[in-house]
Structure 1
Amino acid sequence: MTDIPIRRALLSVSDKTGLAELGRALAAKGVELVSTGGTAKALRDAGLEVRDISDLTGFPEMMDGRVKTLHPNVHGGLLGVRDNPEHVAAMDAHGIGAIDLVVVNLYPFAQTVARGAGRDEVIENIDIGGPSMVRSAAKNHAFVAIVTDPADYEVVARGSTSLDERKQLAAKAFALTAQYDATIASWFAFADQGQMFPDTLSVPLKRGQELRYGENPHQKAALYLPAGPSARGVAQAEQLQGKELSYNNFNDADAALELVAEFRDGPPTVVIVKHANPCGVATGETLLEAYKAAFACDTVSAFGGIIACNRPLDGATAEAITEIFTEVVVAPGADEAARAAFARKKNLRLLLCGELPDPKRPGLMLKSIAGGMLVQSRDNGAIGELTVVTKRQPTEQELADCRFAWTVAKHVKSNAIVYARDGATAGIGAGQMNRLESARIAAWKAKDAAEKAGWPQPRTIGSAVASDAFFPFADGLLAAVEAGATAVIQPGGSIRDADVIAAADEAGLAMVFTGIRHFRH
């Protein structure tokens, strides 16, 4: 017999949602209600008869409520194994009554941190009695039901529970306390103690949704969200239309949003991403102008791509986007005309993210490897003063193109080469095993784009070229010269810097060093 009637329930909740309704349902089944503080008041206000926890323990609530449920009459009633004669005898000897149901939700620690409360208030919102009761009830789930979520009230409202139900509730309860403790541990490590890499890394995550599959159909996948405060991003965006996002959609949309966020305080900017690499990026006087310039960089790769904008979408831009197949569009917002244009493409996903994330925000990046986990800080490094290392000084336009190309290169898989001119990418070479091949591929793409557009010459002519890491040899730089670049931005730091600088001088290039690299593996 696995169905166990509920004769006594202990309720202690900070979230009063559905509390009165649950109390009435249990009372109608003859369940004795035992409660604490504000919960007891809420139940009485609903016209229900409630027994105070102090009646059960023989002690008043004390120390501002810190001590009220930590008592043998509570935990004995939760942990006693009902079919163990020794446990039953101990309960009888000490007058400990069984508790069949615990309804608890914990102090709002994460919410308290999120609203910027002071340290003392944060500490006061560390729940002690609640997790203790949750764990005791969950451990003894063979006999006790534990409810930690108002969504589960209907499971126990009928006045009895099955073993399968109690198992499911216990699993959910232990996940809650693990997440709760991880959130507290993270706050102590990062916010309170300023540790970037604590001895034990606790990462509290809560499943947002299960995805159709992972990178490939034979892989399973899910989206998890931070349990505590976090920056807004693709994971928190509102999806207005289109079919469910896949693992790859989320990954690509995140890559697009992270790059366009670099321009959140700049002119209208559009980013087009394919397989987590940008295939076209441009700024313009209008969003439509920026989109057309970004699209022109690689019209082939843009098909089935992901688009991100740093401005709310307007109807004209949306109409242009719908001229080819696009998987996902991410933007801070969209006007009615844009929404209407996208509504005609039922499979296109439109994500509204609100304020763009801060590219300089701190945070950790995690990557699983066989037998462990690699953890590093986010690449939020930014260049300051550039060092001109060639005889020729760059012009103001060349400097602007260098900075633009460098910003894009930060988001291109290494080895990365990006040509840019007049605030638009001209050619992008990504993910090659040597820098020379990336330079050649980017130049070839620019030539192909010019042929498709009917331009007299590729946009690499008179462009600036960015390399995410130093040129180990002059060959990659000479490939850029052959493509028509007139300015170069790179980290510097190679043992052959002198050879590369000499080659740049001989070609009449202007070259600047950043002193910082942006590998992206």
Structure 2
Amino acid sequence: MAVASKKIPAPDRVAVKTALLSVSDKSGIVELAKALSKKGIRLLSTGGTHKALSDAGLAVTDVSDVTGFPEIMDGRVKTLHPNVHGGLLAIRDDAEHVEAMKVHGIGAIDLAVINLYPFEEVRAKGGDYPTTVENIDIGGPAMIRASAKNHAYVTIVTDPSDYAGLLEELADGATSYAFRQRLAAKAYARTAAYDTAISNWFAQALDIATPAYRTIGGVLKEEMRYGENPHQKAAFYVTGENRPGVATATLLQGKQLSYNNINDTDAAFELVAEFLPEKGPACAIIKHANPCGVATGPSLKEAYKRALACDPVSAFGGIIALNSRLDGETAEEIVKLFTEVIIAPDADEAARAVIATKPNLRLLVTGALPDPRTPGIAAKTVSGGLLVQSRDNGMVEDLELKVVTRRAPTAQELEDMKFAFKIAKHVKSNAVVYAKDGQTAGIGAGQMSRVDSARIAALKAEDAAKAMGLAEPLTRGSAVASEAFLPFADGLLSAIAAGATAVIQPGGSMRDAEVIAAADEAGVAMVFTGMRHFRH
């Protein structure tokens, strides 16, 4: 049953006479407390915050002196008391509330400066179950929510970055209603994100694939000039997942990344992470979230040149992802072509110097590669809903490949098959990828018909061959991958016409027998993976 409002109007400016400070992140808290004290504001505090302020020589009252009850149970119980919550929730212009405060000896608290136990940090660092649970804050969120609800009278500050703004607002010793509203909105968003992190951790820890309630939380990293298009507003939020990538990368140089840059850079880095650096250098070039060239090589420079050779036209203005440290020679090669972003685990001094000659080129370093096998979630919005699924962490190396044709693939064809299937996993469906000797030969992406993807990939391979002055496209003698089953033999026949001699696909079509027969008739080797990689 809803509680009716007494419709007492909120005052504009409210004087701050008493402040409660209880923080886990103590950055800037002593300086803030000193400034508040100079304004004659009484300070209340708890536990470690009280000690920090006392050690700084400030006059501060322990909350246990206000509640008349000691801090107990290792600090689990200290602020959950009517003298605290009554002081935060009391409506100062309600006669009944004022009378209750007098009867029970409850003093008003006008300002609450509170931040929470570092649950997200402990989780990100892989804390064990008991340690993670112990870092779930209870009193903090309760006080934040109480203060935010009563923002007509109480100012709630949850972020050290707001301390300077608070002191500016308190120039005359009071805060405005608009200021309190903004901070209350931020406070509820903070507790929502905090609870989201906790609930998602529980779901992961207990292997609950579809929890009854699902939320996605994030912290604003930066506002963006616009979204996919100039008329769309956008911002970048980080979720706190401990995964190397664009969200956690360091921007060494270049302009602010755009919405599309971030989307494409994430796609590029997740793709190149499929190739372990200990097995050799690899490069992926991405345009509009699709690869236009991927390759391995004896050196990073060669891997880049081989990736570029697949589709040098589409690579213009693209995103380059590398699986190992960017060196000067590779950087020299990359800057010959206009590129939006380079992302790599690291970059040596020579590479940084080369990239510095292109001030608008963004260079991101991540410190490591994301693990393709790590579980996680992926989400997208639909009208009125949220689609959530587990991350596609299937790896072709983990699959039991089934030879379904009379001819088995050669050792080289098998390697090319696996390479092509890795790439197909990261291509928008319908996807067809030709590969040969650790290099993409042609990529067909996002077509409504799989046969069209096969034809487009072959045409791109022909164009690339002409650009390189080759007698024939690299699709001749290549392996071809389809990320989903081939529903008809036409897609296979197009690939064979392009020169493919080996095919890898999930299988599972009603017409598998027809497709296998067509492969046998052409003398082509085919294997089934049993795993599909749709990417919409």
The whole-number CA distance in structure 2 between the counterparts of 1:385 and 1:181 is 40
Q: Residue in 2 aligned with 1:510?
A: 525
Residue identity in the other structure for 1:439: A
Gap change, CA 1:432 and 1:155, over 3 Å in 2: closer
Question: Following the alignment from structure 2 to structure 1, what is the Cα–Cα distance between the partners of residues 126 and 343?
Answer: 29
Please give the alpha-carbon distance, in whole angstroms, between the structure 1 residues aligned to 2:518 and 2:127.
58
Q: Distance in 2 between matches of 1:75 and 1:247?
A: 42
Deviation at 1:244, TM superposition (A): 1.2
Q: 2:181 aligns with which of 153, 167, 178?
A: 167
Deviation of 1:117 (Å) = 2.9
The one of 391, 394, 408 aligned to 2:423: 408
* Secondary structure of 2:252's aligned partner: strand
Q: Which residue of 1 aligns with 2:7?
A: none
Q: Cα distance 1:461–1:155, how it changes in 2: closer, same or farther (>3 A)?
A: closer
- Cα-to-partner distance string for 1:86-117 (whole Å, 9 max, x where unaligned): 21122122222111111211112222223333
1:13 corresponds in structure 2 to: 23
1:419 Cα shift? 0.9
2:133 and 2:517 map into 1 onto residues whose CA distance is 61
What residue number does 1:53 align with?
A: 63
Match of 2:498 in 1: 483
Of the three residues 457, 465, 468, the one matched with 1:453 is: 468
**Structure 1 gaps, min length 5:** none
Three-state SS of the structure 2 residue aligned to 1:234 is coil
The residue aligned with 1:179 is 193
Partner residue in 2 for 1:434: 449
Q: Which amino acid aligns with 1:74?
A: V
1:140 alignment partner, one of 150, 155, 159: 150
Cα separation, partners in 2 of 1:229 and 1:403, compared to 1, 3 Å = closer
Correspondences of 1:90-109 after superposition (within 5 Å): 90-109=100-119
Residue 249 of structure 2 is aligned with which of 237, 241, 259? 237
For residues 299 and 370 of structure 2, the distance between their equivalents in structure 1, rounded to whole angstroms, comes to 21
Q: Distance in 2 between matches of 1:381 and 1:391?
A: 27
Matched, 1:419 2:429: no
Q: Once the 2 structures are TM-superposed, how far is the Cα of residue 45 of structure 1 from its aligned partner?
A: 0.9
Q: What do residues 214-257 of structure 1 show as CA deviations (whole Å, max 9, x unaligned)?
A: 1111111111111x443121111111111111111111111111
* Match of residue 320 from structure 1: 333
Alpha-carbon offset, residue 503 of structure 1: 1.3
1:252 to 259, 264, 267: 264
Q: Matches of 2:329 and 2:519 in 1, distance apart?
A: 43
In structure 2, distance between residues paired with 1:324 and 1:136: 57
Q: Is 1:155–1:161's contact at 8 Å kept on the other side of the alignment?
A: no
CA–CA separation in structure 2 for the residues paired with 1:489 and 1:501: 11
Letter in 2 for 1:459: L
Partners of 1:10 and 1:154 in 2: CA distance: 17
Q: CA deviation at 1:271?
A: 0.8
2:480 alignment counterpart: 465
Distance in structure 2 (CA, Å) of the matches to 1:341 and 1:156? 44
Instruction: Please state whether the residue corresponding to 1:259 is helix, strand or coil.
Output: helix
1:386–1:514 Cα contact (<8 Å) kept: yes
- Alpha carbons 2:227, 2:260 under 8 Å: kept: yes
Mapped to 1, the partners of 2:431 and 2:445 lie a distance apart of 5
1:26 and 2:36 equivalent? yes
Residue 219 in structure 1 maps to residue 232 in structure 2: yes
Query: Given residue 230 of structure 1, which amino acid in structure 2 is its aligned partner?
Result: N
Any idea what SS the aligned residue of 2:486 has? coil
Q: Which residue, 495, 508, 515 being the options, matches 2:510? A: 495
| Matched AA of 2:487 | P
For residue 5 of structure 2, what is the aligned residue in structure 1? none
Measured in 2, the distance between the counterparts of 1:52 and 1:346 equals: 54
What SS is found at the alignment partner of 1:350?
A: strand
SS at match of 1:208: strand
Q: SS in structure 2 opposite 1:199? A: coil
Q: Distance in 1 between matches of 2:533 and 2:479?
A: 17
Q: Which amino acid aligns with 1:404?
A: F
CA distance in 1, matches of 2:508, 2:129: 44
**Which of 324, 339, 342 is 2:352 aligned to?**
339
Cα drift, residue 258 of structure 1: 1.0
Distance 1:482 1:115 in 2: 52
* Cα pair distance change 1:417/1:101, threshold 3 Å: same
Identify unmatched segments of 5+ residues in structure 2.
Answer: 1-10
Q: Does 1:71 align with 2:84?
A: no
Say which SS state the counterpart of residue 51 (structure 2) adopts. Answer: helix
Asked if the contact 1:313/1:334 (under 8 Å) is kept, the reply is yes
For 1:314 and 1:517, locate their aligned partners in 2 and report how far apart those are by CA, in whole Å: 36
Distance of aligned partners of 1:116 and 1:244 in 2 relative to their CA distance in 1, 3 Å threshold: closer
Identity of aligned residues (%): 65
Give, as a single letter, the amino acid of the residue that structure 2 aligns with 1:7.
K
Structure 2 counterpart of 1:444: 459
Aligned length: 519
- Structure 2 counterpart of 1:108, one-letter code: P
Mapped partners of 1:397, 1:491: distance in 2: 20
Report the 3-state secondary structure (helix = DSSP H, G, I; strand = E; otherwise coil) of the residue aligned with 1:499.
Answer: helix
Q: Deviation string for 1:255-293 (max 9, x for gaps)? A: 111110000243111111111111111111011111111
Amino acid at match of 1:164: A
Following superposition, the deviation at residue 364 of structure 1 comes to 1.1
- Contact kept in structure 2, 1:155 and 1:165, CA below 8 Å: no
| d(CA) in 2 for partners of 1:475, 1:28 | 81
Checking the alignment, whether the CA contact within 8 Å between 2:327 and 2:350 is kept in structure 1 is yes
2:306 corresponds to 1:293: yes
CA distance in structure 2 between the aligned counterparts of 1:129 and 1:304, rounded to whole angstroms: 51
Aligned-partner Cα distance in 1 for 2:438–2:230: 38
Of 139, 147, 153 in structure 1, the residue corresponding to residue 163 of structure 2 is 153
Q: Is the contact made by 1:330 and 1:350 (CA closer than 8 Å) also made in structure 2? A: yes
**SS of corresponding position for 1:457:** coil
TM-score (norm: length of structure 2):
0.94
Is this contact kept in 1: 2:125–2:242, CA < 8 A?
Answer: no
Return the alpha-carbon distance in structure 1 between the equivalents of residues 525 and 488 of structure 2. 17
Letter in 2 for 1:41: K
Amino acid at match of 1:180: Y
**Partner of residue 120, structure 1:** 130
Cα distance change of structure 1 residues 47 and 246 upon mapping to structure 2, 3 Å threshold: same
Q: Structure 1, residues 282-336: CA drift from partner, whole Å, max 9, x if none?
A: 1110111111111111111111111111111111111111111111111111112
1:98 aligns to what SS in structure 2?
coil
Q: Which residue of 1 aligns with 2:204?
A: 190
Task: Name the SS of the counterpart of 2:268 in structure 1.
Answer: helix
